[in-house]
Amino acid sequence: MNAETTACRVLAWAGDTTGWSAPPPVGPLRETGALAHPAAATLTALRELTRDTAARLGAGSPPFADRSPVGAGALLLAAAVGGRAQTGPARALAEAAPALRPATDGWADALARHAVVAPTLAACRAVPELADTLLRASTLTAVLFRPAASRVSAGATATEVAAAIDLLGRPRGRTVLTAALAGWSPDPAVLTWRAELLTRLSHDHPGVVLDTYLLARLRHGADWDRRLTWAARALSGFGLPDDLPVATVGFWAPLVALNQRDPELIRSRTLLDGHRDALNLVRRYRLGLSAGAA
């Protein structure tokens, strides 16, 4: 076995959604140079994973109507994931994936990387040192999941915001973005990023923000009700609350601010219902709101 066979095993794991409850396979990182000239079977596996992920997300074929080729970045990331037991070499391999700006480098390539990184982050929350490296290399994951923590703490998320805006202009991009942002997450950093992104989008793309909250209620309403009830109890107790209940309520802050600026916008979404309790919690605890939006 070598780095290419390790990458192939990770590609196969990422393509089987029933296996995501278990961590991705682990393998050696020998002969990494072979990843620059992968075998035909490896390229076929990568194409199939990209196609299947695009179908699952609703990105279409080709993904987001982008016929540009998929580069070697996804294979480097897959090998890094499989070689994560060797922390230093794995990080170096992931960092070797060229920086990607989907608007110029291709959304198909961005989706291929996302196909590897997204299930890995869901299954491997115990490897934060590799997670940030993967997120820096996978812009689509950084948009739909969250940017690297180092980028968030430095306020350096302009690349991710620009990618989200560009995605809105791609065929099926708006559908994929709003669907990904609408659900609850057990990771407070993910919810905080979603609130930040929706806030950034609310001025020039208020319809996208409203559609996200509409999907949150239509597709995930019962789940959001349970999470918000739990968050309200946590926030009403003594002492400082944990980050998750704060982020759960704070996710709805952009909708409060949007309603403050233009109440008619919410009324234009006639199917948006059941959101008032969330908005009341945001106002009560002033989570994610500036003084002018309270």
Per-residue pLDDT tens over the stretch 19-39: 888 889 999 999 998 888 999
Residue 128 in this model has a pLDDT that exceeds 90? no
State in Å, rounded, how far the first CA of the chain is from the last one: 59
Helix axes 188-201, 253-261, angle to 10 degrees: 20
Handedness of CA 223, 273, 257, 197 (dihedral sign): positive
Handedness of CA 186, 189, 190, 191 (dihedral sign): positive
Distances (CA, A) of 76 to 12, 146, 173: 15, 21, 26
Residue percentage of the chain with pLDDT more than 90: 75
Alpha-carbon distance of 270 to 266, in angstroms, equals 8
- Alpha carbon 163 to its chain centroid, in Å, reads 12
Q: Residue 263 has what pLDDT? A: 86
Residue 210 in this model has a pLDDT that exceeds 80? yes
Confidence of residue 78 (pLDDT cuts 50, 70, 90): very high
Helix axes 73-82, 107-123, angle to 10 degrees: 10
Per-residue pLDDT tens over the stretch 244-259: 999 999 999 999 999 9
Strands in the chain per DSSP E: none
Per-residue pLDDT tens over the stretch 148-185: 998 998 999 999 999 999 999 999 999 999 999 999 99
